[in-house]
Amino acid sequence: MQLRKRRHRVRRLENERELPQVRGPHRRVDRRPRQDFVQAPGGIGLKNAVSDSNVITLKGRKFKNAVLVAGLPGIGLVGKLAVDQISRSRKAERVAQLYSPHFPNQTIAMRNGKLKPFTMRFTHAKLKRGEAVFLKGDLQPMTVEGQYEVTASALGYARKIGVKRVIAMAGYAVEKIGKQPEIYCAASNPKLFRELLKKGAKRTPVKAIPIVGMAGLLPALAPAYGLEGACLLVETNGTKFDARGAKRLVEFLGGVFGEKFDVAGIDARVKKIEKAFLEMRPPQQMQPPQAEVPKGDLSYIR
């Protein structure tokens, strides 16, 4: 009789194999849908690839009180340049990739023969003051729904691997910049805000600044996942590739982590990106130069 019940239970679970099993007092099956990410140590398979983002783990790592540092494309490309530089200089190990139907349905055929789909990558490096996980990417989702959905996937994965703090970076367009670009900050709690002020960041120069994109969503929604978040905005003149602003962010993060990060590779990286940009976009399709920021106007795009 017990063997028959066990076989019946096995068949029932096979029919519900997409549902996680939770062994409670009555051995009930949790019927909530599986969340956040897919772990596929062998072949990688995407779950609900039409409607959902998928985080595919390449290394099953867990960290203690790690910091997620996000730098995605935006104005001046400052956040992306900064995160790419730190990740490369510290030889960060790739631990996961985020695939999403909210990214363009294009794949890049590289000269070396590789196929490169649009993804976001998580890399890890051990620093003096703990573990750092870097979120890198070549683009952001183009729709409001996509921004929220990809942000939720990234934060869900970050929480699962032990991240406790999220720091996102972006550019803040201004007309004039002093000897060095200022960094403004905002945070999800007063303690983190004061901590960043002590490191040299400043309060925003105006009462409210709209932050569009994942640079704002990641830290703002972090508390919903039990994390704390902050956004760093560096002054930029709005050029396509602002190496100066990126270097300032790298130096500031060095103070946060108690490290001295190398900034020498940023200029070379900018030249490489500019060359790739020109090769991928024919001259007749090049976008016109960005409009100048009106005098006295302070604005942030993403």
Q: Which domain holds residue 81?
A: 38-281
> Are the C-beta atoms of 180 and 242 separated by less than 8 Å?
no
Q: Round the CA-based radius of gyration of the chain to a whole number and report it.
A: 22
CATH number of 170's domain: 3.40.50.10900
Bridge partner residues of 231 (DSSP): 168, 186
pLDDT value at 242 more than 80: yes
Question: Is 287 inside any structural domain?
Answer: no
Coil, helix or strand for 42?
coil
pLDDT band at 22 (very low <50, low <70, confident <90, very high): very low
pLDDT band at 31 (very low <50, low <70, confident <90, very high): very low
Q: What would the mean pLDDT of 206-228 be, rounded to a whole number?
A: 96
d(CA 204, CA 189): 16
Question: Is 14 inside any structural domain?
Answer: no
Q: What is the mean pLDDT of the chain?
A: 82
Question: Is 66 inside any structural domain?
Answer: yes
Question: Is 249 inside any structural domain?
Answer: yes
Domains in the chain, number: 1
Show the tokens assigned to 295.
């005098």
